[in-house]
Chains A and B, each alone.
Chain A
Amino acid sequence: MTTIPSVRPRKSLGYRFSLTMKRDWQLWVLLIPALAFFIVFCYFPMYGAQIAFRNYKAAFGVTGSPWVGWANFEKFFKLYYCGRMFANTFLLNFLGLLFGFPIPVILAIMLNQLNHKRFKGFTQTAIYVPHFISTVVLAGMIYLFFSPTNGIINHIITAAGGKPIYFIMEPAWFRPLYIGSDIWQNAGWNTILYIATLTGIDPQLYEAATIDGATRWDKIKHIDIPHLIPITVMMLILNCGSLLASNTDKVLLLQTSGNLATSDILGVYQYTVGIAGAKAQPSYAAAIGLCLNVMNFVIVMSVNYISRKVGKISLF
């Protein structure tokens, strides 16, 4: 039996590599700084995440520390407050998404309907401004405005005949403060993507609709909203990835001894036991972190999968 030689023999990998290097080495040089950053600052820690299965001691290094298997995870899941922390983390992000997610879409649609060009421009500039305030300042503003003695909110409450509320020490007020301030700060900024989508719509559609007698409300319903759906779904998928990831620094800044019942979240706990605490337990904290990251990853992938099957919209 004879083998028929293929017309175009497949070039070896090494040959192809040398060929692209000869032609495109300059491209790789331009890429290297960024790639090196991702490898050193993102992939090294991923390798280092194995300390979750070890009893990390700085003297032995990451790979030299003794292997303890799932012990750190078991310790965490047996913790009395484990359930509460999961619930707090999830609820904070879920409620934030529930109340915070639709607002930018609504703002973008309403902004698109503003006629007066200068007022529209001013509005657009103004609603972005809070985004540029730092978390520390935002927390400071919350403390100032909601202070039980000098805060303006409590002055209004007492003027209306109510009793002053110590907002920052009340567990029931932690989530409204956190989510409300988040909406105040970022809702305007998050309209950018939706506004970009709306400006990309062919004006002929609106003209045709006007001639057919459509009101502004009809145009929103039949032109704007259908155009916004793909990008909205994509943003929703992206946001689902943060359902268990927490804005640790903001919670850290707003946490007080009084509101622990609702502000006690996984990210802050991880930071406290792993770095800030007097007796740091890096391996234990790394186990919590790994747990969170895997769960987040699974959530994004599942939401992405479902949305691809159901609505044919996906990130990848």
Chain B
Amino acid sequence: MSDIVLPRRKTRIRETGKDRVFNAINLIFWIIVLFIVLYPLWLIIISSVSDPDAVRRAEVLIWPVDFSLMGYEAVFQHSELWNSYLNSIFYTLVGSAMSVIITLAAAYTLSRKFAGRKVVSLVITFTMFFSGGLIPIFINIKDLGLYDTRAVMILMNLVSVWNLMVARTYIQTTIPEELYEAAVMDGAGHFTYFFKCVLPLSGTIVAVLSVYYGVARWNDYFTGLVMLRSRNLFPLQLILKEILASLTTGNSDTFFASYADNLGGLQEALRKAEVAKYCCIVVATVPAILLYVFMQKYFVKGVMIGSLKG
């Protein structure tokens, strides 16, 4: 008995002339899109490591000019920025961890059939379309005694309806019902099933939720603006806003001017402030993008599964 060896051959149908034109146009289209998307980011990075005077004259266009790290030195001198940086790390880590656990637990419940599920779903989805408004929320926080505390930065926006729905759909579509039946047969309750079976199978959705919640918290500006007064509790974005805002108001970079002694005189401090703004942007944005890049592998897959309606 002998195997018939077929010659290896490409079985793809050759593209027609029209399709080749289409492909060429599509490629050009994407190169333009990628340039628009990435060039501003690149510009920020190269400006942050260039000489301030070159940046001011807009000579920094493709590659850093007169490479220097003086902007970063100025940023590292800024103790208030680093304090807020630590605050943001705390709010992001603790807040996101709580958000992910609570969201998953609730998503599991909503994925099961039980008396009252419809009512609960309605109660939760309704908040997506109607809210009491900014002022009642603010007064509610004050009445609860949470105004100007670290707790409010954790508890505000703890669960997002959208993420809850994504997680529920994920659990419904990826974890087979037979697993539940088998677990119940073996005497497992909902607790055992959730912790021993659902959680270990939910790695992808945990990654997705962590990115969603983590980035939202890291970038959140409004909650701090409204709910905090003490400067030592401020998250990064609030301090960052003050640094960047000195660009518009024209009151000449008061932030870095106050550190003039450490930065070699007022004149020098103002010169450094020019690139320091770019450095602040880099320093503030890198954690969020890093989180995304590291989780990216699970991320695209998880979002796809979760976002399809189950």
A positions within 8 Å CB-CB of B: 16-17, 20, 24, 26-31, 33-35, 37-38, 40-49, 51-52, 56, 58, 61-62, 107, 110-111, 113-115, 119, 123-130, 132-137, 139-141, 143-145, 147, 150-152, 155, 168, 184, 188, 192-193, 195-197, 199-200, 210-211, 215-217, 241, 248-249, 253, 256, 267, 270-271, 274-275, 282, 285-286, 289-290, 292-293, 296-297, 300
B58 contacts across to A, CB distance below 8 A: 150-152, 155
Bound: A271/B194 CA distance, A? 42
Binds A, one of B1-9, B29-37, B67-75, B256-264: B29-37
How far apart are B164's CB and chain A's nearest CB, in angstroms? 7
Contact B136 A289 (CB under 8 A): yes
Contact A140 B240 (CB under 8 A): yes
Q: Which residues of A contact B127 (CB under 8 A)?
A: 38, 42-43
Min CB–CB distance B174 → chain A (angstroms): 14
Give the contacting residue for B131; candidates A20, A24, A45, A188; CB below 8 A: A45
B55 at the binding interface (Cβ < 8 Å):
yes
> Which of A110, A111, A216, A300 neighbours the largest number of chain B CB atoms within 10 Å of its CB?
A216
Q: Are B123 and A215 in contact (CB under 8 A)?
A: no
Interface string of B285-296 (1 = CB under 8 A from A): 100110111001
Q: Which of B237-288 contact A (CB under 8 A)?
A: 237, 240-241, 244, 247-248, 274, 277-278, 280-281, 284-285, 288
Judged by DSSP, the binding face of B is: helix
Q: Which residues of B contact A62 (CB under 8 A)?
A: 139, 143
Q: Give the distance in Å from the alpha carbon of A102 to the alpha carbon of B240 in the complex.
A: 33
**Which residues on A sit within 8 Å (CB–CB) of B130?**
46, 293, 296-297
Please tell me if B77 contacts chain A, counting CB pairs below 8 Å: no
- On whether the beta carbons of A113 and B56 are closer than 8 Å, the reply is no
Closest to A123 in B: B30
Interface residues of B in 46-105 (CB under 8 A from A): 55-56, 58, 61, 102-103, 105
In the complex, besides A49-B136, A275-B134, 20 extra interface pairs with C-beta distance below 8 angstroms are A20-B116, A29-B191, A30-B105, A30-B194, A34-B124, A34-B159, A42-B127, A45-B132, A45-B140, A47-B132, A132-B219, A132-B292, A136-B237, A136-B240, A136-B241, A136-B244, A141-B40, A150-B55, A196-B304, A271-B226
On whether the beta carbons of B115 and A24 are closer than 8 Å, the reply is: yes
Can you list 23 A-B pairs with a CB-CB distance of less than 8 A?
A29-B191, A30-B109, A37-B102, A44-B140, A45-B133, A45-B140, A47-B132, A48-B136, A51-B135, A107-B33, A123-B30, A128-B292, A130-B37, A132-B219, A133-B219, A134-B240, A136-B240, A136-B244, A137-B284, A137-B285, A197-B308, A215-B22, A289-B135
Most buried by B among A132, A145, A196, A289: A132
Q: Determine if A41 and B158 form an interchain contact, defined as CB atoms under 8 angstroms apart.
A: yes
Roughly how many angstroms separate A167 CA and B292 CA in the complex, as a whole number? Answer: 32
Within 8 Å of chain A (Cβ to Cβ): is B221?
yes
Give CA–CA (A267, B129) in the complex, Å.
16
Q: Interface size on B (CB < 8 Å)?
A: 94
Output the nearest chain A residue to B58 by Cβ-Cβ distance. Answer: A155
Interface residues of B in 114-158 (CB under 8 A from A): 114-116, 120, 123-124, 127, 129-140, 142-144, 155-156, 158
- Pairs of residues from A and B, 9 with the lowest C-beta to C-beta distance, nearest first: A289-B133, A45-B132, A134-B219, A34-B106, A140-B244, A26-B190, A48-B136, A45-B136, A155-B58
Contact check, B194 vs A132: say whether CB atoms are below 8 A apart.
Answer: no
The listed residue (A17, A24, A211) touching B190 by CB distance below 8 A is: A24
* B179 on the A face (CB < 8 A): no
Given A133-B285, A270-B134, A293-B131, A27:B140 Cβ within 8 A: no
Write the nearest CB–CB distance from A212 to chain B, whole angstroms: 11
Does chain A have a CB within 8 A of B231? Answer: no
Point out the residue from B41, B132, B225, B307 that lies within 8 Å of A42, measured CB to CB.
Answer: B132
Task: Evaluate whether A28 and B135 lie within 8 angstroms (CB atoms) in the complex, with A128-B292, A137-B240, A217-B18 already known.
Answer: no
Are A114 and B237 in touch, CB under 8 angstroms? Answer: no
With CB as the reference atom, state the residue of chain B lying closest to A299.
B129
B201 in the interface (beta carbon within 8 A): no
Cβ of B281 and Cβ of A140 under 8 Å apart?
yes
